[in-house]
Amino acid sequence: MSTRPHLHNELPVVGITLGDVNGIGPELAIKAFNDPEMLSICTPVLLGPAKVVQWYRKLLQPKNFHAIAPEQIGKYKPGHIYLVNTSPDMEQPQPGQASAEAGKAAAAALEEAIKQLDAGMLDVLVTLPIEKNAIHGDAFPYPGHTEFLTERLRARQSLMFMIHESLKVAVATNHLPLQEVSRQLTVDALVQKLVLIHNSLKLDFRLQKPRIAVLGLNPHAGDKGLLGKEEQTVILPAIEQVRAQGIFATGPFPADGFFAEHTYRKFDGVLAMYHDQGLIPFKTLAGHEGVNFTAGLPVVRTSPDHGTAFDIAGKGEADATSLRAAIYWAIDIYRVRQDNEHLAKHALKSGAAAKFTSGQDEDAPLGD
């Protein structure tokens, strides 16, 4: 699925926030849309400082990248790369350096994205990396994109879901210090995450009976309580609850052997207990083709699976593979949700038929 999305008659409008412009975000956007084929699958709308994009364009000298300002915000026609100037006062970037100015610009792009999503001007959102120390403050009191979008898009809950054609890994806790992880793990919280994974695999990836593996928290999955009790007191009860509701989940598996022995190949999705437990093996196995997808939101949001890469910013070395994959996945998931909505409106008129929605399976238990 990460190769090319399915084409429909109308091209989806893809909003792309440029992230921290002192990182590699603007370079990735220019490189991705320097490929003319990209305009055959979507209408891109870049959100960020226009003068910064011009600065990077002069640096990179792309042959086919020509971004224009829209005549009217929200009126986007196929065949063009649009650039909405969300920080007109920002003159040029400082590649490789964290700055309050770049953080403010990243926040402004996200605010414009929310505005356009709420107005129905964008079909999907792709976010380029932010520098959390630069953006964090009173105007952005969130650990990252996932938490920001969950609140601002008014989702009850969401799930950080790292996706690749051969591996999909979700995390039970997002951006937390390790000492906080155990305190945040509860039976109810894990049940909610497992329901979200199940629903997303069914409704966003067309898997009718998804198989979900659950990792343990402690070494050797607690070794029957010798190395920790969370497997027995939290993780196993959560698995038993969702299995009683018809969700195929099993575990907990010791995380090291699970990936080293390629057990993940037997499952459609994996729930890790904390950020690095899931993302280190995912990024190792997925390489540049990995994508971060936020399940549970009312709109499709993806992002590359890497950070700002300040060490190579402004050097022309950034690889746009993950951004392209993020765009392809966003379009594919958007099309699947469109198909689900079409079925709900036209094909499911008789009897107690199964329900299909954009972001949540209404027939499935919510776990809260």
- DSSP-derived letter for residue 79 is T
| Cα separation of the two ends of the chain | 32
Regarding the domain delimited by 7-157+296-368, which CATH topology (the fold level of the hierarchy) does it fall under? Isopropylmalate Dehydrogenase (3.40.718)
- CB half-sphere exposure, 35, CA atoms < 13 A: 13
Side-by-side strand order, sheet with 81-85:
67-68, 81-85, 43-48, 13-17, 124-127, 300-304, 291-295, 159-164, 167-171, 269-272, 211-215, 248-253
pLDDT digits (tens, 9 = 90+) for 14-52: 999 999 999 999 999 999 999 999 999 999 999 999 999
Global pTM value = 0.89
Per-residue pLDDT of the chain (368 residues; tens, 9 = 90+): 444 454 445 899 999 999 999 999 999 999 999 999 999 999 999 999 999 999 999 999 999 999 999 999 999 999 999 999 999 999 999 999 999 999 999 999 999 999 999 999 999 999 999 999 999 888 889 988 999 999 999 999 999 999 999 999 999 998 889 999 999 999 999 999 999 999 999 999 999 999 999 999 999 987 788 888 999 999 999 999 999 999 999 999 999 999 999 999 999 999 999 999 999 999 999 988 999 999 999 999 999 999 999 999 999 999 999 999 999 999 999 999 998 887 877 765 544 444 444 444 433 333 32
Q: Which structure tokens are listed for 28? A: 């990735």
Place of tokens 């022309």: 316
Phi, psi of 191 (to 5 degrees): -60, -45
CB 196 within 8 A of CB 157: yes
CA–CA separation, 311 vs 22, rounded Å?
10
pLDDT digits (tens, 9 = 90+) for 157-186: 999 999 999 999 999 998 889 999 999 999
Map out the domains of the chain as residue ranges. 7-157+296-368, 159-290
Alpha-helix runs per DSSP H in the chain: 25-33, 50-60, 100-118, 132-135, 145-152, 178-184, 187-203, 230, 236-244, 255-260, 275-286, 321-342
Long-range CB pairs of 93-97 (<8 Å, 24+ gap) are 93/21, 93/22, 93/26, 93/52, 93/55, 93/56, 93/314, 94/22, 95/22, 95/23, 95/310, 95/313, 95/314, 95/315, 96/22, 96/310, 96/311, 96/313, 96/314, 97/22, 97/310
Output the CA–CA distances (angstroms, integers) from residue 43 to 51, 212, 356, in the order listed: 21, 35, 27
CA–CA separation, 238 vs 65, rounded Å?
50
CATH tag, 159-290: 3.40.718.10
One fold for 7-157+296-368 and 159-290: yes
